[in-house]
Amino acid sequence: MSGNDPKVSAERRVPDEVRFHLRLGWWSLLLFACLGLTLEAMHGFKVDWYLNVASETRRLMFRLAHAHGTLLALLHVAFGATLAVAKPTGRARRVASRALIAAGLLLPAGFLLGGFGAIGGDPGMGIGLVPLGALCLLTALFTVGWSLRPPTPAPEVKG
């Protein structure tokens, strides 16, 4: 069985991860493009719940959810490509992957929930997810950046 072959599974693990982020990215892109279309439709049909002056905060939150969701979808695609090309180290790869997945969920979800529960000029309680998501995103970005640093040259052995 090739699955039990440590050499083969080590080679396939990377492509799986790449494929996972690419799939997640493209599907997310579709999802958030649909959200964008929905927001545009609400403009088109002059939906009071969305366009009312009192819904200013809700409108902002939904736009932020759309923008962050789309951006994070693209980041998943970029991360997948990075994994394929640059092959970061194992630990950094795992941390960045998990942090990016968490950010991709928390940031748009936080803005969406904040929009649904908006109270006057304040977003709903769901907005609390956003700082967590932002932390995850920063972690992912830092980890990827760090993992791609040039390798330290091995010290020369004299004599």
Partner 1 sequence: MNALLWLGVAASVGGLVGVLAARGAGWTVRAIALLGGSTAAALSVVAFIPPAPDVDLETRTPEMGPSGGFASSDTCRACHPGQYESWHDSFHRTMTQVATAETVVADFDGRVVEGYGLAARVFRDGEQYLVDFGPAVDGEPGPNDASLPEGPRRVVMLTGSHNMQAFWMTAADGKLEQLPFVWLIEEERWIANDNSFLQPPADEPADPAIWGDGCVYCHATGGPWDSEFVGLNGDTAVVELGIACERCHGPAEEHVLANSSPARRYALHLAGEGDPTIINPKRLDHVRSAALCGHCHTACEEAVDNDEDFFAGDLLSDHLDFDAMHAMAAEASDVVDPDDLDDDVRDVVEAFWRDGRARVAGREYDSMTLSGCYLEGEMSCTSCHRVHGGDPNGQVAHDSTDRSMCASCHQSYFAAVEAHTHHPAQSAGSDCRNCHMPHTSYGLLSATRSHRMASPGATGLGGRETPNACNLCHLDQSVAWTAETLEDWYGIESEALPEDRAELPAGVVWMLRGDPVQRAIAGWHYGWAPSREASELGVVRPAFGVLLADPYSTVRQIAGRIAVEHEGMTIDMDALAAEPQEALMRELRDPDPSVPVETLRRLLNERIAVPASIPE
- Cα separations in angstroms, 94 against 17, 30, 138, 154: 9, 25, 15, 25
Binding mask of the shown chain, residues 93 to 132, with x at each position contacting partner 1 by CB under 8 A: --------------------------xxxx--x-------
Residues 34-53 that bind partner 1 (CB under 8 A): 52-53
CA distance 2 to 135: 39
Q: How far is the CB of 87 from partner 1 (least distance, A)?
A: 42
Residue 54 engages partner 1 in binding (rule: CB under 8 A):
yes
What lies within 8 Å, CB to CB, of 156 at 6+ separation is: none
User: Closer to partner 1 at the Cβ: 57 or 82?
Assistant: 57
CA distance 51 to 36: 15
148 backbone dihedrals φ, ψ, rounded to 5°: -95, 10
Q: How far is the CB of 119 from partner 1 (least distance, A)?
A: 5
Q: How far is the CB of 125 from partner 1 (least distance, A)?
A: 7
